[in-house]
Amino acid sequence: MYQALYRKYRPTDFNSVVGQDSIIRTLKNSIINKTFTHAYMFFGPRGTGKTTISKIFARSINCLEPVDGVACGKCKNCLESFKNSCVDIIEIDAASNNGVDEIRELRSKVSLVPAELKYKVYIIDEVHMLSIGAFNALLKTLEEPPEHVVFILATTDPQKVPETIISRCQCFSFKRISTDMIVDRLKFICSEENISIDDDVLTEIATSSEGGMRDALGSLDKLSSFSNSKITLDDFYELNGMITKGELKNFYDNLFSYNISEVLKLISDYNSGGKNLIQIFTQIMFSVRNMIVDFYISGVQSSYNVDLMQDFVNLINENMFDIKRSGNPKIFLEMLVIKFIKEHESSKSTDVIVNKEEVVVQSNNVEKEVKKVKKTVEITEDKPVEIISREIIDEKNISREIKLDTLPVKNIQEIMDARVNNIMALADKNILKLEMQKFQLLNDYTFDQNIGYLVCSLLDAKIRAASDKGIIISYEYDSNVKQNLINLDKLVEVYNKITKSNKSLAIISDEKWEIEKNKYIKALKEGKKYQVMEEPEEVLEEIENNDIISSSSAVELFGDIVEVE
């Protein structure tokens, strides 16, 4: 009968164990110095050698003539311990023997002396599966076991083991085996088994096994049965429900060029073809991550925007838990991809191409407007000064038209609350997308002598929601909000003139926006709809004019010598 590779190549002594050097060194020294204790706990990820090392340790402490802490493999104890019928090395699966009765039966047999070996060794695998009653039954035995008994507890989930049990054991944390070590081991096994395989496939196997040697050997076993010729990367992808490099590139090209329809079609094709969408998006996430790392570490240039790739990896990684537990991962992933493309498509920066006599503004590769740059001469009392100003065709200079004199509003906060409510009541995603595109037009006026500071203030904000009547913008700090509320009328006039709009502005803090957004979502879930309310009229602050002389008082003071216009 065929023997699985992970069983056939399971290490039989300490020297053949891969990736747990510090643990092996400690255990070997304890055997050499005869300082091994009565209870051990081995914990760590699956497939990292916990049960294997438990068995090797059990044989080594029973060896009559160990060599540097390693069982000789020749003495009668070693030969006996390798037999499946050995009664002194007992392996218990706690997952299926987790009751009080099983542990009580174990306690009743502990006092019996070993039949053949020096020590009776109990290896309890997946010990975290024991019930509370079983742990309590085991506790006293662990605390004061007979001298001829050694317990080795193995688990992948140590946090589920009571502290009272852990404190009575000498604990060893097993680490994930490195990719390079797994690849080297796989190469050795392939040479022994005459398996022809590409090195890239071995790397993929090692990476996908996430540090577990058993998983890596299981994957190699499947691949050797899948292909009778040389095993290629496409074989690995096909067997694991993943996509090829060519399909990966096709997906990237469509995703990062915002081709929603084609990306959705690809996802549908993957699903119809019986592929595992979670596995595919995990593959895509790691592949994009590798491109990002190569860019920052080795300077390898990618044909895609690095920030864009980073946002995509973060989005998938943050939602992976929800994707896995979703009732329909396909729908979840489709909505995630649509969200990613929509958000980045709408915020794509405006490209400006400068020619000798015109500035062509393009946004999302669609030509917008043609603007002329011309020189005008402003005459001052001393001398003519040549300045550069940008004018939209058939319109006067925007910065010259805007009036910058305003008075502070006393009830500004009430107005903002009402305005936020009304904008969210009529909010429209299509309008929001359009306003985000228009927002890019502000960049043309950041150095304008008259309104540049107002434009920069607007550009510092984040657009949160929009309706046909107004938009909500937010700032990180309350101090920015207060300052910009003072200049609210100026900001509204600047924004509407540049974007050719007629919108009101609601200015709030990022913290306030989160509160309002959560209120809005809660209302939607409860089936409540925001109602438009009447916005309060402005109440201007009273300004004292004690130092200003009115026209009537001026006549009274100076008589006919003054002429009042």
pLDDT band at 452 (very low <50, low <70, confident <90, very high): confident
pLDDT score at 382 = 41
Mean pLDDT across 527-540? 84
**Domain 245-346 sits in CATH 2.70.98:** no
pLDDT band at 315 (very low <50, low <70, confident <90, very high): very high
pLDDT at residue 470, as a whole number: 92
pLDDT at 90 over 70: yes
User: Which one-letter amino acid corresponds to residue 461?
Assistant: A
pTM for the model stands at 0.57
Q: What angle do CA 514, 516, 522 make, to 5 degrees?
A: 100
Per-residue pLDDT, 365: 38
Tell me if 43 sits within 8 A of 173, measured CB to CB. Answer: yes
For range 367-371, the mean pLDDT: 37
Q: Please, what's the b/e burial string for 164-194 (b: 16 or more CB within 10 A of its CB; e: otherwise)? A: ebbebbeebebebbebeebbebbeebbeeee
Give DSSP secondary structure letters for 112-125.
SPPSSSSSEEEEEE
Q: What is the pLDDT of residue 380?
A: 35
Q: Give the CATH superfamily of 5-173.
A: P-loop containing nucleotide triphosphate hydrolases (3.40.50.300)
CATH class of the domain at 179-239: mainly alpha
Alpha helices (H) in 129-212, listed in sequence order: 132-143, 163-166, 179-193, 199-208
DSSP string, 20-32: -HHHHHHHHHHHH
- How many C-alpha atoms does 343 have within 13 Å on its Cβ side? 13
Coil vs helix vs strand at 214: helix
Cα–Cα dist 405/203, whole Å: 68
Domains of the chain, residue spans: 5-173, 179-239, 245-346, 352-388, 396-565
Q: Which residues contact 315 (CB under 8 A, 6 or more apart)?
A: 336, 339, 340
**Weakest mean pLDDT among 65-69, 75-79, 385-389, 440-444:** 385-389
Residue 473 DSSP one-character state: E
Instruction: Please determine, for residue 131, whether its predicted confidence score (pLDDT) is greater than 90.
Output: no
Answer whether residue 17 shows pLDDT above 50. yes
What is the reported pLDDT for 392? 36
> Is the pLDDT at 501 greater than 50, yes or no?
yes
Q: State the Cα–Cα distance between residues 20 and 24, nearest whole angstrom.
A: 6
